[in-house]
Amino acid sequence: MSLSSSPIIGSAGVVEPGFCQYEMTICSCEEIINEFEMLTRDAGRVQQETLKKILEANADAEYLTRFGLDGRTDAESYKSCIPLCVHSDVEPFIQRVADGDSVPVLTGQPITSLSLSSGTTQGKPKFLPFNDELLENTLQVFRTSYAFRNREYPIGKGKALQFVYGSKQVSTEGGILATTATTNLYRSPRYKEGMKGIQSQGCSPDEVIFGPDFHQSLYCHLLCGLIYSDEVHSVFSTFAHSLVHAFQTLEEVWEDLCADIRDGVLSEKITAPSIREAVSNILTPNPELADSIYKKCMGLSNWYGVIPALWPNAKYVYGIMTGSMEPYLKKLRHYAGQLPLVSADYGASEGWVGSNIDPTLPPEQVTYAILPHTGYFEFIPLEKPTGEETESSASIHYIESEPVGLTEVEVGKIYEVVLTTFAGLYRYRLGDIVKIADFHNSTPKLEFICRRSLVLSINIDKNTEKDLQIAVEEAAKLLEGEKLEIVDFTSYVEKSTDPSRYVVFWELSSETSDEVLSGCANALDLAFLDAGYMGSRKIKTIGPLELRILRKGTFREILVHFLSLGGAVSQFKTPRCVSPANSKVLQILNKNVTQSYFSTAYGL
C-alpha cells in the first residue's frame, strides 16, 4: 500500500483503497475529510474495486477455491459461489490456521496473529483472523472519525486520559500469537506510528497499559491522569462500562491518590515491578496539586461533574456507548457533568463497519458512516411479518430477503450486516441489526439497533438485549424516589421449572424495601411488550418473572473472572443474558443473591 500523502485516483476517477495512507502527521483534518468525501461520492464503484482487491489478493485461499470461485473477482460470481456464513462455518478453517497449517487457508498471505472475541456471552472467546490490512483499516476509521471530531472539538496539543489495557498473549499449537483485538493494536509499532497526529499522547506509560494486574493499572491510570491534569484534553476508554468503572474506583481511592501526589511516593498496593518503576519515574512530590485535588473532591456533590472538576481542560469523553453500553450512559453523564459524550466508531473483533462523522449527536442518536474501501459490505433486508404488533418492542420477528449491496439499502429499513474483510472473512454474518438512518453522499449512515441473537426466549417469545434494557429502564423508575441506582443487570432463562420463566438479576447501589422491589418485579414483567411473551404469560406457558437482588460487588467479581481467563477489561461487556454454557458466571450470580421477588402482575 502506498504511503503517499495524496489521494490515489484509479482509472475511473475513483479514490482507491490506500488514500493518503497513512502518515497522520502529514495529513490535516481537512485533507482527511476531503478524502472521505471523495470516497463516498461513488461508494458503489469503490465497493467493486475493494471486492476485486480482496479476491485478487486471496485467489489461492482454500476457502474461496473450494466453492469454485476460480479466481473471478466480480460481485455477481462472488455472491453466486460463496455462501453466507456464521462463525461456526469458518471456525474449522481458522482452527487450521491456529494449528499451523502452511497452505493458504483463508488468505493468500499467511495469517501471523489471531484476535480473540470478548467471549462474555458464551463464556468462551472465538478465534478471528487479524492481519496488517485490518490494522490499516483501523487506522483509516480512527483518523476519519478523529478529523470530524477535531473539527467540532479541536484539542490541539495535550494529553489524553486513556483507560486502556492490554491482555495476555497466548501461542497456539501452530505458533500463532492470539490476543484481544485491542491488544493486537496497542502492541503494534505500526499502530503507534499511525496514531501520531490523530491522538494525543496518553498520560500513562506503556508499562501501565500492559501491566499484569488490571486493578494496579487502573489505579495508575488515575494517578497519571491527575499528575497531568491540566494537560488532559480528552478522556477515553474503549467501552462506556470501563469509564464508569474507572470513576467508581476513583470514588474509593481518591485519598490514596492525593497522598501519593503529596509525598511523591507510589502506594505500596502497587507491587508489579514494571508498573512501579515506570510510574515512580514521573511521580514527584507536589503538595499544591494534592491539596487542589483534595478540595475539589471534597466539594463535589455525589461526584457529579468529577471529570471537568479534576480535568478542567477536557473537551469531551469518548468511547463506545451504543448497544450493551447504553445502560451506563446515565452514570457516565453524572460523572461528565456538562462535558459532551462522544460515541466511538462501530466495529467488532471481526472488522470495522463505520465511523462517527457526527460527533455532536448524543450517543442515543449516533449514526455511523461506512468507509466503502475498508471491506465489502452486504445487508440482509429484514421485514416484519404483516400484521405483527411490534411498534413498542425491539423484538426480532423478521423475514429475511436476499442480501443487497452497500448503495442499494433504503433509508428507514432494517438490515443485518454482512462483512467481507481483508483478513479472510467472506460474506460473514456479523449478527448485528442496523437501521439505515440516512446517506452521506452515496454511503449509508447506520443506526445500531441490537444483536440478532435472541436474549430471552422460552417458546414463541422473543426478546432482545434492547427489550431487556427497555424493561429495566421502565422498572427503574420506581427506584428514583428512593434515590437508588441499578449498578448493573443481567438475565437468565430458568428452564428447570415448569413452566419456565425469566430471571433478571440486579445489583443496586443501596438497599430498599420489599414493597418497592416487589413493584419492580411486576414492572419488569409488564414492560416486556413482545406479543409472544404477553400471550404466554396470560395462558401460563411462561411462569412469573423473578427479580433477584445481588450483593454489592457481584459484577466486579464477574469482571475479575473474565480477566482470569485472559480477557482484557477494554473488551469486557456484561453479558445481558447468561447462557447455560457460561456456568461459572451463573455460579457467581446465584451465590450472591440476597433477595428474590416474583411478579404477580398477571395475577398468576
Cβ distance 404 to 378 under 8 Å?
yes
Q: What is the mean pLDDT of residues 512-518?
A: 92
- Give the pLDDT confidence of 584-593 residue by residue, as tens digits: 899 999 999 9
For 138, other C-beta atoms within 10 Å of its C-beta total 24
CA 111 from centre of chain? 24
Lowest mean per-residue pLDDT among 175-179, 250-254, 398-402? 175-179
- Give the pLDDT confidence of 439-458 residue by residue, as tens digits: 999 999 999 988 777 678 88
Strand partners, 548: 505, 596
Cβ distance 207 to 274 under 8 Å?
yes
Per-residue confidence (pLDDT) for residue 388, from 0 to 100: 52
Strand partners, 488: 507
* pLDDT of 5 above 50: no
The contacts of residue 16 (CB under 8 Å, 6+ apart) are: 8, 9, 10, 46, 49, 53, 373
Cβ distance 129 to 97 under 8 Å?
yes
Question: Which DSSP string do the residues of 497-540 spell out, in sequence order?
Answer: SSS-EEEEEEEESS---HHHHHHHHHHHHHH---HHHHHHHHTT
In the chain, % of residues over pLDDT 70 = 87
Q: What is the mean pLDDT of residues 171-188?
A: 73
- In the chain, the N- to C-terminal Cα span, in Å, equals 65
* pLDDT of 380 above 70: yes
Packed helices 29-41 and 132-152: angle between N→C axes, nearest 10 degrees: 110
Compute the CA torsion angle 330, 335, 337, 343 (nearest 10 deg): -60
Name the pLDDT band for 391 (thresholds 50, 70, 90). very low
In whole numbers, what is the pLDDT of the chain averaged over residues?
85
The contacts of residue 525 (CB under 8 Å, 6+ apart) are: 502, 537, 544, 545, 599, 601, 602
Q: Which amino acid is at 213?
A: D
Name the pLDDT band for 554 (thresholds 50, 70, 90). very high
* pLDDT of 21 above 60: no
Cβ distance 359 to 149 under 8 Å?
yes
Relative to beta strand 376-383, strand 399-400 is antiparallel
Cβ distance 238 to 568 under 8 Å?
no
CA 432, CA 426: separation in Å to the nearest integer? Answer: 16
Lowest mean per-residue pLDDT among 28-32, 245-249, 282-286, 290-294? 28-32
Measured over the CA atoms of residue 371, residue 30, residue 132 and residue 180, the dihedral's sign is negative
Q: Cis (ω within 30 of 0) for the bond into 499? A: yes
The contacts of residue 216 (CB under 8 Å, 6+ apart) are: 269, 270, 271, 272, 275
Cβ distance 574 to 555 under 8 Å?
yes
Q: Which amino acid is at 463?
A: N
* pLDDT of 534 above 70: yes
Nearest one of 413, 324, 394, 316 to 362, comparing CA atoms: 316
26-46-446 Cα angle (round to 5): 90
Cell of 311: 480535568
Nearest one of 259, 258, 264, 250 to 219, comparing CA atoms: 250
Per-residue confidence (pLDDT) for residue 399, from 0 to 100: 79
CA 332, CA 341: separation in Å to the nearest integer? Answer: 8
Most confident of 96-105, 233-242, 288-297, 478-487: 288-297
- Exposure on the CB side of residue 90, measured as CA atoms within 13 A: 29
**pTM above the 0.85 mark?**
no
Reduce the secondary structure of 181-238 to three states and give it as a string. HHHHHHCCHHHHHHHCCCCCEECCCHHHHCCCCHHHHHHHHHHHHHHCHHHEEEEEEE
CA 140, CA 146: separation in Å to the nearest integer? Answer: 10
Distances (CA, A) of 495 to 280, 471, 542: 53, 21, 10
CA 68 from centre of chain? 36
Nearest one of 318, 351, 354, 326 to 446, comparing CA atoms: 354
CA 469, CA 472: separation in Å to the nearest integer? Answer: 5
CA 85, CA 427: separation in Å to the nearest integer? Answer: 6
> Residues of 478-489 as b/e, b for ≥16 C-beta within 10 angstroms?
bbeeeebbbbbb
Per-residue confidence (pLDDT) for residue 604, from 0 to 100: 56
Which position has the higher pLDDT, 384 or 33?
Answer: 33
Reduce the secondary structure of 116-145 to three states and give it as a string. ECCCCCCCCCCEEEECHHHHHHHHHHHHHH
Nearest one of 433, 431, 371 to 406, comparing CA atoms: 371
Instruction: Report phi then psi at 277, rounded to 5.
Output: -65, -45
3-state secondary structure of 287: helix
Distances (CA, A) of 422 to 45, 72, 126, 602: 17, 16, 18, 52
3-state secondary structure of 561: helix
Lowest mean per-residue pLDDT among 92-96, 182-186, 391-395? 391-395
